[in-house]
Amino acid sequence: MLSVKTREHIRRRMEITGPHLAVLLCGAVSLGVSLAVVSDSLRIVEISDTHGQSGVIVTCATDVNTLVDQAGLTAPGSEDELEIVESNGRDRIHVLRAFTVPVTADGATTDLVATDETVGELLSEAGIAVGEHDIVEPALDEELERGDSVTLQRVEYVEYTTEEAVPAETEYRQTSLFYRNQDKETVLEEGQDGLDQVTWREIWVNGECTETVEIGRQTLTEMQPTVIKCYGEGVPVSIFHGPEVVDGVPTEGVSAVYTGKRSTGYSASLTSKGASGQRLTYGTVAVDPSVIPYGTLLYITSDDGRFVYGYAYAADTGTAMMAGHAFVDLYYESYDEAVTSAVIPVTVYVIDDETAAAYKEENDAIREADLAEHH
């Protein structure tokens, strides 16, 4: 136990030093509180801008201009925009520096201010409407960058129709019929101009017509070609078909060959029928039916190969054949053709019935089409 003297000594020292200790203790408490407050308001802030500047600071400041200044960046301008986000316990401030974009539209160029807009957003914010067919460069969804400029061209389509004549074309039908006069031509059908209704589209750009294109055509009157018969070496006169011919000779089905035979020519009306009852047309010939029966398929060519009558059916007869003055009389559609091709030395190939039967259906269809054409 402390003595009375000792306790008195301690009491006196406390009287002297107590106030100072109290002050010190109070100061320590106040400093601790201040540090705690400062510690609570300090934060890490990352600051950057679209010019590539950036900085990281630890600060209590809240004013953006102060923060940007502390980071050593240029203060935001009146047109600049800020993006502020918090991520991973720190604030991030990104300054979108404004820049001007020259926009040319409707005959004038205006400087508009942009930060991070697309072309379409910039035009919309400026109240510049874009039509369906207008051309915008760069494209509306392109992000704008410093140095860009925008051009808007007003495009309008104007459509109209006209009537347009279609000149008659010339269609040449070759035949070896004119082998003796190879420059000869015969007009089989006179042509007739047609008439089309044509739809056009004018493309107007900024008030000027830059292009006119055809976008539709409707036939009002069919064009009828001029059909001309002319010489073609080795082209058959007949309309009928048969086995393939190589070097002037059928490749299959030949049952007999008559060479150096005299042929003549004759004509009749387009509705005439031969002694067999078959209607006469190119590809029907008169024969001696005791030598070549009616309905037999033949292939007829001149001995020198310059004239080719082609595949033909024995369909008629005449006194010249019966008297032996001619082996075969070739049918033509006009007297002039019959005279032109009269008396030709020919080779006649007889096609057997089995081979001929393979072409009967096809040739019947050809005959029907020919009949329809001439009626």
Task: Pick 236-373's CATH classification: 3.40.1360.10, 3.40.50.300, 2.40.40.10, 3.30.70.20.
Answer: 2.40.40.10
Residue 3 has pLDDT above 80, yes or no: no
Residue pointed to by tokens 């705690």: 36
Q: Give the pLDDT of residue 69.
A: 80
The fold of the 99-153 domain, in CATH, is Ubiquitin-like (UB roll) (3.10.20)
Residue 336 has pLDDT above 70, yes or no: yes
Residue 13 has pLDDT above 70, yes or no: no
Residue 174 has pLDDT above 70, yes or no: yes
Q: C-alpha angle 190/193/197, rounded to 5°?
A: 160
**Would you kindly state where each structural domain of the chain is located, as residue ranges?**
43-96, 99-153, 157-229, 236-373
Residue 222 has pLDDT above 80, yes or no: yes
Asked whether this chain's domains 99-153 and 236-373 adopt the same fold, the reply is no
Before 138, cis peptide (omega within 30)? yes
**Band (209; pLDDT cuts 50, 70, 90):** very high
**Band (375; pLDDT cuts 50, 70, 90):** low
Q: Output the average pLDDT for the chain.
A: 86
Architecture of the domain delimited by 157-229: Single Sheet (2.20)
**Total residues found in the chain within this entry:** 375
* Cβ contact 134:151 at 8 Å: no
**Band (81; pLDDT cuts 50, 70, 90):** confident
Q: Region 114-118: what's the mean pLDDT?
A: 91
- 362's enclosing H/E stretch is helix 360-373
Rounded to whole angstroms, the Cα distance separating 339 from 333 reads 11
Q: Give the pLDDT of residue 71.
A: 77
Residue 39 has pLDDT above 70, yes or no: no
* Cβ contact 285:328 at 8 Å: yes
Per DSSP, the chain holds a count of helices (H) and strands (E) of 7, 22
Rounded to whole angstroms, the Cα distance separating 273 from 363 reads 17
Q: What is the pLDDT of residues 125-149, one digit of tens each?
A: 999 999 999 999 999 999 999 999 9
Q: Which two tokens stand for residue 333?
A: 């559609």
Rounded to whole angstroms, the Cα distance separating 255 from 349 reads 8
